[in-house]
Amino acid sequence: MLSFEQHTPTKVVFGKDTEMQVGKLVKEFGGTRVFIVYGGGSVVRSGLLDRVVKQLEAEDIICRASGGVKPNPTLAKAKELIAESIAFGADFILAVGGGSAIDTGKAVAHGTANPDKDFWELWLKKIPLTKSLPIGCVLTLSATGTEMSNSAVLTNEEIHSKKGLSTPFNRPAFSIMNPELTYTLPDYQVRCGIVDIMMHTMDRYFCGSAGWGNELTDQIAESVLRVTIAAGRVAAKNKCDYDAMSELMWAGSLSHNGLTGLGGIRDFSTHGLGHSLSAWFDTAHGASLSVLWGWFAEYVWREIPSRFARYARNVWGIVEEDDEKAALAGIKATVDYFKELEMPTCFSEADIPVQSEEMLATLADAPTANGTGTLGSIKKLTKADAIEIYRMANH
Ligand code: NZQ
Ligand code: ZN
């Protein structure tokens, strides 16, 4: 087992009607002027934003709400909201929505606390982030795990670059998780979320052998996957099933708060490659992962056949003694499950129009720092490897 640190300070308040505690929670964490960040309007239509504002006002907390964050949130929108938040004099950021609203909320917290710094330079860690504002979340979509994670992702549209920032300042002070708030989701987003939850565990479980050896972490990861797959099957048919939506919501948080990879190393290649699809074609995050994972797995499994075989046996119940056959059966079971969820598993199914070799190479630029870096730990993927995986998916 490798040495590790785990600090997940987020106070989780889980269950029905928990959004009614938002005023008290903001007060508990010292907020007096709250800037609320939300998305394209789902929280207005559902009445959630109204309930949240009323709870804040009941605690004499001054607040201002600003929306318009789109999926695959942009740097430009974050900067706009940072300016609003500074002008308002916010001392606390509250994000109400899915991963895009929450990640933008995290960006607004950092930007508001550092008005004199170049924000993109902060995001790329060219300037160290040394302070931020506290952030709270009311989650409406189970997927990204951002409600407990130390990361946030923005797209710089000018250069087609979607980049994550990992910092302890990204861990929310509190997250309100009421599974009933997810009932209004479009079916497609529920399914994208299921893939994302699985991938956050798989991108830790499938790693170079230096990261193996923590049996407890491995069994937690396998359990999170089994439960997510089963709850996902129920949720895909009935997104108003409280138990299934609850399992998914909690699995989403545990998948990406660090727990499923403790004492190991990670391989987030599929995420890195997927972000380029989102940056160029606005592909939904979960879809970028379902499109690529099967091809990525096919490309790398021979490096660690026993790991893929263990996954096949312990997650999918595949009975096969031969490691290589088991590994391939596990990859097939995963891709079949994505298909069962009606998620895309190649470019054409996700409306990703790549027609030239040149474009495949362009896609590979951002994840490999223009060919100067590598991705992942199973096999250190070069730009040429990345191009090959995109080529496999391009039909
Ligand atoms: O914008 P609104 O109107 O709210 O509608 C959203 C959006 O259209 C809608 N939605 C969300 N909750 C709803 C709802 N519609 C009805 N009822 C509800 N309860 O769903 C659509 C997608 O929302 P979005 O927030 O974009 O989805 P998601 O939660 O999947 O977030 C995706 C973003 O998070 C990043 C992704 O890359 C992507 O940019 N990620 C963030 C991570 C992190 N911070 O740790 C980790 C992930 O790997 C991921 O990269
Ligand atoms: Zn993800």
143 CB less than 6 Å from ligand 1? yes
Specify whether domain 186-393 bears CATH 1.20.1090.10. Answer: yes
Q: Tokens in use for 181?
A: 């708030």
Q: Tokens in use for 23?
A: 């005023």
At residue 211, does pLDDT exceed 90? no
Task: Determine the straight-line distance between the first and last CA of the chain, rounded to whole angstroms.
Answer: 41
In the DSSP assignment, the letter for residue 20 is: G
371 CB less than 6 Å from ligand 1? no
- CA–CA separation, 128 vs 392, rounded Å? 38
C-alpha dihedral over 328, 387, 156, 203, to 10 degrees?
20
259-291: b (≥16 Cβ within 10 Å) or e: bbbbbbbbbbbbbbbbbbbbbbbebbbbbbbbb
Residues, beta carbon < 5 Å, ion ligand 2: 196
Could you give the percent of the chain with pLDDT greater than 70?
100
Question: Among all chains, which residue has been given the structure tokens 């929450």?
Answer: 102
Q: What is the pLDDT of residues 23-55, one digit of tens each?
A: 999 999 999 999 999 999 999 999 999 999 999
At residue 369, does pLDDT exceed 90? yes
CB atoms closer than 10 angstroms to residue 374: 17
| Atom number in ligand 1 closest to CA 183 | 19
Contact 331, 309 (CB under 8 A): no
270 CB less than 6 Å from ligand 1? no
Report the SS3 class of residue 21: helix
Q: Tokens in use for 263?
A: 């004492």
Q: What is the pLDDT of residues 291-311, one digit of tens each?
A: 999 999 999 999 999 999 999
What average pLDDT does the segment 165-184 reach? Answer: 98
* Residues with Cβ within 8 Å of residue 130, at least 6 apart in sequence: none
Question: Among all chains, which residue has been given the structure tokens 């079971």?
Answer: 333
| Atom number in ligand 1 closest to CA 71 | 26
Which of 138, 139, 144, 177 should be mutated for ligand 1, with most atoms under 8 A from CB? 144
Beta strands 62-66; 174-177: pairing state: unpaired
Q: What is the pLDDT of residues 217-244, one digit of tens each?
A: 999 999 999 999 999 999 999 999 999 9
- Ligand 1 centre to CA of 70 (Å) is 8
| Atom number in ligand 1 closest to CA 182 | 19
- CA–CA separation, 249 vs 229, rounded Å? 13
Predicted local distance difference test score (pLDDT) of residue 2: 87
Residues 143, 146, 152, 154, CA torsion sign: positive
Question: Among all chains, which residue has been given the structure tokens 């300037």?
Answer: 127
271 CB less than 6 Å from ligand 1? yes
- CA–CA separation, 101 vs 137, rounded Å? 9
Beta strands 92-97; 33-38: pairing state: parallel
Ligand nearest to the CA of 147: 1
Which of 100, 149, 155, 276 should be mutated for ligand 1, with most atoms under 8 A from CB? 100
103 CB less than 6 Å from ligand 1? yes
Ligand nearest to the CA of 181: 1
- CA–CA separation, 253 vs 143, rounded Å? 8
At residue 1, does pLDDT exceed 90? no
* Residues with Cβ within 8 Å of residue 381, at least 6 apart in sequence: 269, 300, 368, 374, 375, 389
136 CB less than 6 Å from ligand 1? no
Predicted local distance difference test score (pLDDT) of residue 79: 98
Ligand nearest to the CA of 245: 1
19 CB less than 6 Å from ligand 1? no
Atom 13 of ligand 1, nearest CA residue: 185
Q: Name the residue ranges covered by the structural domains of the chain.
A: 11-181, 186-393
At residue 342, does pLDDT exceed 90? yes
Cα atoms found within 13 Å of the Cα of residue 13, Cβ hemisphere only? 19
- Ligand 1 centre to CA of 318 (Å) is 33
| Atom number in ligand 1 closest to CA 48 | 19
AA identity, residue 54: K
Q: Give the CA distances from residue 313 to residues 41, 144, 226, 267, 321, in Å, rounded to whole numbers and listed in that order.
A: 43, 26, 11, 21, 9
Least confident interval from 3-12, 68-77, 178-187: 3-12
146 CB less than 6 Å from ligand 1? yes
Predicted local distance difference test score (pLDDT) of residue 105: 99
105 CB less than 6 Å from ligand 1? no
Residues 232, 190, 79, 51, CA torsion sign: negative
Beta strands 62-66; 92-97: pairing state: unpaired
At residue 331, does pLDDT exceed 90? yes
Atom 15 of ligand 1, nearest CA residue: 185
Q: Which of 100, 193, 142, 139 is closest to 10 using CA atoms?
A: 139
Contact 379, 386 (CB under 8 A): no
Predicted local distance difference test score (pLDDT) of residue 213: 85
Summary mean pLDDT of the chain: 97
Q: Which CATH number fits domain 11-181: 3.40.50.1970, 3.60.15.10, 3.40.47.10, 3.40.50.300?
A: 3.40.50.1970
Beta strands 135-139; 62-66: pairing state: unpaired
- CA–CA separation, 148 vs 197, rounded Å? 13
- Ligand 1 centre to CA of 193 (Å) is 8
144 CB less than 6 Å from ligand 1? yes
At residue 351, does pLDDT exceed 90? yes
* Residues with Cβ within 8 Å of residue 340, at least 6 apart in sequence: 233, 236
